[in-house]
Amino acid sequence: MTDAGPITAVRKVEVTEVGPRDGIQAEAAFVPTQRKIEFINRLIEAGVPRIEATSFVSPRAVPQLADAGEVMKGVKRSKNTVLAALVPNARGAIRAAEAEVDQIVVFMSASESHNLKNVNCTVDQSLKAFEEVAKIAHDAGIPVHGAIATSFGCPFEGSVPVENVARIARAYQDMGFVGMSFGDTTGMATPPLVRDRVRAVREAAPKLSQVLHFHNTRGIGLANVVAGLHEGVDRYEAAFGGTGGCPFVPKATGNICTEDLLYLLHEMGIETGIDIRKLIGIARDVEPVLGHPLPGQVMKAGLRLDLHPMDSVRTAVG
């Protein structure tokens, strides 16, 4: 925590780690099941309160997550961490229930064109299908959380009316969902858009907890977090090392980085309950497994007051 007090009314934030699902789903090289389990267990041990652990999608569609059932079976459960799993349809919901996930996450887009590209359904078709998912989850005693992709803009349509997002959120509330995520799938979010959408959904679906999920495509992911904090939003999603990116968005880049988000929050005097040094260690260990550099900054630079010996750099001459 910095010497100064918090600069927003938010004093504690729940951070969801989406790296095990969103972060690696588009990686070409298969991440061994045991490594996935290891990283999730380390995230739990670091104090992460909610983890999007995997997705029960068709193995043909997302080969990287074909081992969803094995991953859930191998993880060491903790009463302090919610293990959520993404499902695309009723079949996925049944598999997720059999795996005894703590929470089911459904997803759709606020724009018709991206929803067609992403899940090959219209917006209304997706909402109709979620009614069956909600029933399966309810019968299994599993809460449902709904994500809304392209909440801040669509790569094919451009601006997405805030009314589209609010309508879907209201439908989620009517189906008994416990929360919703604003997905910045395209990295088109800006602070004014964050403000407008948070306020609109708060009015349209006041019973839903709001979660902000930003990508850093245009370099202002953390600025959008600050905008969300000023609107009182206290739940955010991020991925270790800044991994991820939607395969159905041209020129998409990764999620905001978990360690960078934690650093920002802790320096603002906001509690998360997460050990940032353990997250840095996880991100550094994920990088060689994926086989390419990750964009996270704090994993490279360390924390603000991490000091270095004088002889670690040369002395200027002249």
Under the banding of pLDDT at 50, 70 and 90, the label for residue 1 is very low
| Alpha-carbon radius of gyration of the chain | 19
Within a domain: residue 232?
yes
Within a domain: residue 9?
no
pLDDT of 21 > 60? The answer is yes
Within a domain: residue 1?
no
In degrees, rounded to 5, the angle at the alpha carbon of residue 147 between the alpha carbons of residues 244 and 87 is 80
pLDDT of 199 > 90? The answer is yes
pLDDT of 2 > 80? The answer is no
pLDDT of 262 > 80? The answer is yes
Q: What is the CATH number of the domain that holds 168?
A: 3.20.20.70
Better pLDDT: 119 or 23: 23
Within a domain: residue 99?
yes
pLDDT value of position 246: 64
pLDDT value of position 117: 82
Tens-place pLDDT, residues 134-145: 999 999 999 999
How many separate domains does the chain show? Answer: 1
**CB within 8 A of 197, min separation 6: which ones?**
151, 152, 162, 165, 166, 182
Within a domain: residue 260?
yes
In degrees, rounded to 5, the angle at the alpha carbon of residue 265 between the alpha carbons of residues 263 and 270 is 135
Global confidence as pTM: 0.94
pLDDT of 91 > 70? The answer is yes
Crossing angle for the helix pair 276-290 and 258-267, to the nearest 10 degrees: 160
Say how far apart CA 207 and CA 167 lie, in whole Å.
14
Say how far apart CA 89 and CA 58 lie, in whole Å.
10
Within a domain: residue 91?
yes
Tens-place pLDDT, residues 100-134: 999 999 999 999 999 898 788 899 999 999 999 99
Better pLDDT: 257 or 316: 257
pLDDT of 4 > 90? The answer is no
Within a domain: residue 8?
no
For range 144-168, the mean pLDDT: 95
Nearest to 238 by CA among 298, 154, 285, 289: 298
pLDDT of 251 > 70? The answer is no
**Average pLDDT across the chain, whole number:** 94
Which residues are annotated as catalytic? 246
Better pLDDT: 13 or 8: 13
Where in the sequence is the domain holding 86, given as residue range(s)?
A: 14-312
Within a domain: residue 317?
no
